[in-house]
Amino acid sequence: MTISLTEENYLKAIYTLSRLGDESEVTTNEISKHLKNKAATVTDMLKRLAEKKLINYIPYQGVKLTEKGKRTAIKVVRKHRLWEVFLVDKLNFKWDEVHEIAEQLEHINSDELIQRLDVFLGKPKFDPHGDPIPDANGQLNTIKALPLNQRKSKGNFIFVGVNEHSKSFLQHLTGIGLKIGDSLLIEEINEFDNSFKVKINKTNSQFFSNKVASNILVEIKK
Amino acid sequence: MTISLTEENYLKAIYTLSRLGDESEVTTNEISKHLKNKAATVTDMLKRLAEKKLINYIPYQGVKLTEKGKRTAIKVVRKHRLWEVFLVDKLNFKWDEVHEIAEQLEHINSDELIQRLDVFLGKPKFDPHGDPIPDANGQLNTIKALPLNQRKSKGNFIFVGVNEHSKSFLQHLTGIGLKIGDSLLIEEINEFDNSFKVKINKTNSQFFSNKVASNILVEIKK
DNA sequence: ACTAAAAATTTGTTTAGCCTAATAAAATTT
DNA sequence: AAATTTTATTAGGCTAAACAAATTTTTAGT
Ligand SMILES: [Mn+2]
Ligand SMILES: [Mn+2]
Ligand SMILES: [Mn+2]
Ligand SMILES: [Mn+2]
């Protein structure tokens, strides 16, 4: 049974959306919004995917990936993230330039290719945005990072990933001079607007709005 | 105007077929055979491509690429061959394993990507099968090689490319121990079946059938 | 419990890309 | 020059993937 590029994109969307919330059912409208297709189109595809046993679908009740569907979705995510590492590490693209190209590359179909690419890149565990790369068996490091704005006390953290992948946000961070792996020391938390004053790498102090802070994922520095 | 993956494949087919012969018109049946689609399907597509000014098409008279069509086709060929170099040089695929994957990768759409891939690979001039890689402006080294079986005198040659790209032929050459760049000394030409006895790299003598010799491209050794 | 709003599905079209069968045009043979 | 064969086109139909409009089901508000 072959899975089309479009079907792969639907499976990935369902996977991504189910991870945002509580792992429960994903709704037609969520998928519709995410993929920028009309709800009627989504319903059609849900029937097709259910037919292929890639999702469990009860009309009006939303969908969940089957094991098979989940495996497929994770493989697409794995490819997407490996290619992003390739583009940044080997071709010197910036982290805000790679997503659209990876959206295409993630559909290239060759197990041998993924395997060799993985080795060539040194079996990376995270992509350029800090997102974990599933291994060949579909296992992925659960990330224990939290958004910066949920840290209620001052302290020392490491910037490990982003919640928001838009080009403008990534460029904003680059403008500030913030990169994955940088240390972040919360110096002030302003009560009235929940903005933060943060020192990056012990040198340069910056103000982060709550919006920005909510999209920056940090771990506690050991 | 966007050009679909399928349209790209038709343009590439027309380009390839026109190069085989005398650069003249390509026929519906040739395309049909090459792409393994029915002639009626090809006629449909020819109308679409003509509509888009990618080919000049006169019913019953065959087709020729327009300048625009040719540019597009050459770009696809460039991408195909660059990706093949990547797969062999960087991911250590064998030369008989890369074609199918390159058939997919050649449709990835990003000028910046091709440009950077080209630089990353060291701006290669030839792909793993000895085929010339068009440069960013679509110029390509005309190859002055001839098939081994057209060399009528004994002498010293260099193996620079293949005429036949099938997995089985490439594996056959690998089995013989023949690689691009090897020197070939014609020791004997057998009149009755036009087979050749050839010494590879001054060490190992092999018999080549005329069929094999016709698919091996050589240049005169300077 | 009833009604209005929101969410999802069904119905009917469209386009790209493929097919087979029927027909027309061109080339070849007699 | 006709007849036959080969090549190509037209006509009609199919499926995947999209849409808009109409309808149904579920949820939320009173
Ligand atoms: Mn991405
Ligand atoms: Mn990413
Ligand atoms: Mn190839
Ligand atoms: Mn090649």
Give the mean model confidence (pLDDT) for residues B79-91. 98
Give residue numbers, 35 to 54 of B, with CB < 7 Å from strand D.
39-40, 42-44, 46-47
Q: In this predicted structure, what is the pLDDT of residue A168?
A: 96
Question: At B56, phi and psi to the nearest 5?
Answer: -100, 125
B62 torsion bin: left (phi>0), alpha (psi -120 to 50), beta (else): left
Residues B216 and B154 in one domain: yes
Q: In this predicted structure, what is the pLDDT of residue A132?
A: 96
Rounded-to-10 torsion of CA B149, B155, B160, B166: 30
How far from the centroid of its chain's Cα atoms is residue B164's Cα?
8
Cα distances (angstroms) measured from residue A202 to each of A161, A185, A187, A208? 19, 7, 11, 16
Hey, what are A51's tokens? Answer: 């037919």
Q: What is the pLDDT of residues A25-49, one digit of tens each?
A: 999 999 999 999 999 999 999 999 9
Which of A4-13, A181-190, B17-26 shows the lowest mean pLDDT across its residues?
B17-26
Residues B130 and B162 in one domain: no
Contact B63, B77 (CB under 8 A): no
How many cross-chain Cβ pairs, A to B, lie less than 8 Å apart?
A: 37
Residue A178, domain extent? 146-220
Which of A6-20, A81-95, B19-33, B112-126 shows the lowest mean pLDDT across its residues?
B19-33
Q: How many domains does chain B have?
A: 3
Block residue for tokens 């071709």: A91
> Would B52 be classed as within a structural domain?
yes
Residues B89 and B126 in one domain: yes
> Would A27 be classed as within a structural domain?
yes
Residues 6+ apart with CB under 8 A from A108: A79, B101, B104, B105, B108
Q: Choose the closest CB to B92 out of A90, A100, A116.
A: A116
Hey, what are A162's tokens? Answer: 């982003």
Can you tell me whether residue B215 is helix, strand or coil?
coil
Residue A82: which of A132, A41, A154 has the closest Cα?
A132
User: Is residue B22 over pLDDT 90?
Assistant: no
What's A205's domain CATH number? 2.30.30.90
Q: In this predicted structure, what is the pLDDT of residue B152?
A: 85
> Would B94 be classed as within a structural domain?
yes
Please give the model's pTM, rounded to 2 decimal places: 0.95
- DSSP string covering A175-197: HHT--TT-EEEEEEEETTTTEEE
Structure confidence at residue B171 as a pLDDT band (50, 70, 90): very high
Q: Write the single-letter amino acid at B107.
A: H
Contact B188, B197 (CB under 8 A): yes
Q: In this predicted structure, what is the pLDDT of residue A103?
A: 98
Residues A127 and A166 in one domain: no
Strand partners, A159: A218
Residues B96 and B115 in one domain: yes
> Would A204 be classed as within a structural domain?
yes
Give the residue on B whose Cα is nearest the Cα of A119: B91
> Would A151 be classed as within a structural domain?
yes
User: Is residue B181 over pLDDT 90?
Assistant: yes
What's B26's domain CATH number? 1.10.10.10
In angstroms and rounded to an integer, the radius of gyration of the C-alpha atoms of chain B is: 19
> Would B92 be classed as within a structural domain?
yes
Domain boundary pick from A104, A121, A141: A141
Give the residue on B whose Cα is nearest the Cα of A86: B117
B93: chain A residues, CB-CB within 8 Å: 112, 116
Q: In this predicted structure, what is the pLDDT of residue A89?
A: 98
User: Distance in angstroms, CA of B18 to C1' of C24?
Assistant: 27
CB atoms within 10 A of CB A156: 14
Residues A92 and A130 in one domain: yes
> Would B169 be classed as within a structural domain?
yes
User: Is residue B116 over pLDDT 90?
Assistant: yes
Q: Residue A113 and residue B100: Cβ atoms within 8 Å?
A: no
Give the mean model confidence (pLDDT) for residues A44-72. 97
Contact A55, A14 (CB under 8 A): yes
Residues with CB under 7 A from strand C: A 27-30, 32, 39-40, 42-44, 46-47, 57, 59-60, 62; B 4-7, 36-38, 40-41, 44-45, 48, 60
Domain boundary pick from A114, A141, A168: A141
Q: Is the dihedral of CA B193, B199, B205, B211 positive or negative?
A: negative
Domain boundary pick from B96, B122, B141: B141
> Ligand 1 is a single-atom ion; what residues have CB below 5 A from it?
A 99
Residues A135 and A102 in one domain: yes
Binding-face residues of B in 90-119 toward A, CB within 8 A: 90-93, 97, 100-101, 104-105, 108-110, 112-113, 116-117
User: Distance in angstroms, CA of A45 to C1' of D11?
Assistant: 31
Q: Residue B110 and residue A90: Cβ atoms within 8 Å?
A: no
Nearest nucleotide (CA of B41 to C1'): C18
Residues B134 and B150 in one domain: no
Q: In this predicted structure, what is the pLDDT of residue A152?
A: 84
Q: In this predicted structure, what is the pLDDT of residue A174?
A: 96
User: Is residue B109 over pLDDT 90?
Assistant: yes
Hey, what are A109's tokens? Answer: 């179909």
Cα distances (angstroms) measured from residue A3 to each of A18, A49, A68, B105, B222? 20, 9, 11, 18, 52
Residues B103 and B153 in one domain: no
Please state, for a pLDDT cut of 90, what percent of chain A lies above it.
Answer: 90
User: Distance in angstroms, CA of A4 to C1' of D9?
Assistant: 32
Block residue for tokens 């993230």: A81
How far from the centroid of its chain's Cα atoms is residue A213's Cα?
17
Q: In this predicted structure, what is the pLDDT of residue A210?
A: 94
B116: chain A residues, CB-CB within 8 Å: 91-93
User: Is residue B1 over pLDDT 90?
Assistant: no
Q: In this predicted structure, what is the pLDDT of residue B148?
A: 94
Average pLDDT of chain A to the nearest whole number: 95
Strand D bases contacted by the protein (CB, 7 Å): 7-12, 16-22, 25-26
> Would B71 be classed as within a structural domain?
no
Q: How far apart are CA B88 and CA B82, in angstroms?
A: 10
Q: What is the pLDDT of residues A122-165, one digit of tens each?
A: 999 999 999 999 999 999 988 789 999 998 888 899 999 999 99
| A28: closest CA of chain B, how far (Å) | 29
Residues B214 and B158 in one domain: yes
Residues B55 and B82 in one domain: no
CB atoms within 10 A of CB B75: 21
| A123: closest CA of chain B, how far (Å) | 13
Residue A33: CB less than 7 A from any atom in strand D: no
User: Is residue B143 over pLDDT 80?
Assistant: no
Give the mean model confidence (pLDDT) for residues A100-117. 98
